Amino acid sequence: MIPGSFDYHRPQSVSEAVGLLKDKGDEAFIVAGGHSLIPMMKLRMSTPEHLIDIQDIAEIKNISIFGSDVTIGAFVTQAEIISSEALHGICPVLREASLQIADPQIRNVGTIGGNVANGDPGNDMPAIMQALDATFVLAGEEGTREVKARDFYEAAYFTARAETEMLTLIKFTAPAAGHGSCYMKQKRKIGDYATAAAVVILTMNGTTVQNVEIALTNVADTPLYAEEANRLLIGTSLDDASIKAAVEAAKAITDPADDGRGPKDFRTHIAGVMVERAIRQAATTAS
């Protein structure tokens, strides 16, 4: 399959990339790893006239950690997330989830920026960014603005990012030391998108839940932040009844599609199973 023709650009800075986006308008697409975009271009479902390759932009290629403040550049690959010991030390759920994305070759080129900005409901990082309460930095012609991950996703492939903007950085505060976390993903085969997946980030105070953040992947046309499930768990001792109530609250917000991964009811059921397992697993790692 041969994609449609385009002109290729390789800007050296964010401002140059944003300038190109402005000049070329909706005929221009950004390419990072390209493993979502290139298949669409081969099918001619996407036919950009200009492709802006952001691999040379140094300012979006780093993971920086100051205390508990984490900043990840949009061009950081899944492989780089996996190999960062510093990041793993303060936020292990990112390595855990990255290892469940696609396969080694794809993780070598797939970027966190592409994963969160593409708006594909199957992508794993958006729900995790919602659980972490991350902030996305968008660069446009009038400078930068910040959008919360919890406000970013509007519908499948529709996000708060304007066509003339570029995601540059992802920022979040690492969860408290001693937190437990888990990304539980049910998939048909290794490397597949989730049938349903859940992330849980849990902070305990003795035997009581001090804080919990649950979010879901691929059971609606956006990632889902499970606010009510969180509320039902905080202050409990993670007893079976409380977990069951949180699971039901999480299931209640799902609205999955019937597709090759299973009928709607099945996927909602699996979402509940993933939430329960993730809560129990996160509890074993919390101190």
Partner 1 sequence: MSKMNVKMTVNGKEIESLSEPRTLLIHFLREDHKLKGPHIGCDTGHCGACTVDLDGKSVKSCMTFVGQANGANVTTIEGIANPDGTLHVLQEAFKEHHGLQCGFCTPGMITRAYRLLQENPSPTEKEIRYGISGNLCRCTGYQNIVKAISMAAQTLNTQEAAE
Residues that bind partner 1 (CB under 8 A): 1-8, 10, 31, 34-35, 38-39, 41-42, 49, 51, 53, 55, 79, 102-106, 108-109, 190-191
| Shortest reach from residue 174's CB to partner 1, in Å | 27
The Cα 222–Cα 227 span in angstroms is: 15
| Shortest reach from residue 79's CB to partner 1, in Å | 7
Token pair of 110, please? Answer: 């797939």
Q: Which residue's CB is nearer to partner 1, number 14 or number 51?
A: 51
The HSE-up count of residue 96 (CA atoms within 13 Å, CB side) is: 21
Which residues lie across from 173 on neighbouring strands? 69
Q: Which residue's CB is nearer to partner 1, number 1 or number 241?
A: 1
Q: Which residue's CB is nearer to partner 1, number 79 or number 283?
A: 79
Q: Which residue in the block uniquely carries the two structure tokens 């049938």?
A: 195
Q: Which residue's CB is nearer to partner 1, number 35 or number 61?
A: 35
| Shortest reach from residue 39's CB to partner 1, in Å | 6
| Shortest reach from residue 260's CB to partner 1, in Å | 14
Q: Which residue's CB is nearer to partner 1, number 171 or number 187?
A: 187
| Shortest reach from residue 192's CB to partner 1, in Å | 10
Angle at 6 between CA 79 and CA 160, to 5 degrees: 60
**Which amino acid, 153?**
Y
The Cα 162–Cα 139 span in angstroms is: 10
Q: Which residue's CB is nearer to partner 1, number 118 or number 230?
A: 118
| Shortest reach from residue 198's CB to partner 1, in Å | 22
| Shortest reach from residue 247's CB to partner 1, in Å | 30
Q: Which residue's CB is nearer to partner 1, number 25 or number 235?
A: 25
| Shortest reach from residue 3's CB to partner 1, in Å | 5
Q: Which residue's CB is nearer to partner 1, number 44 or number 145?
A: 44
Please state at what angle helix 264-285 crosses helix 240-252, rounded to 10 degrees. Answer: 140
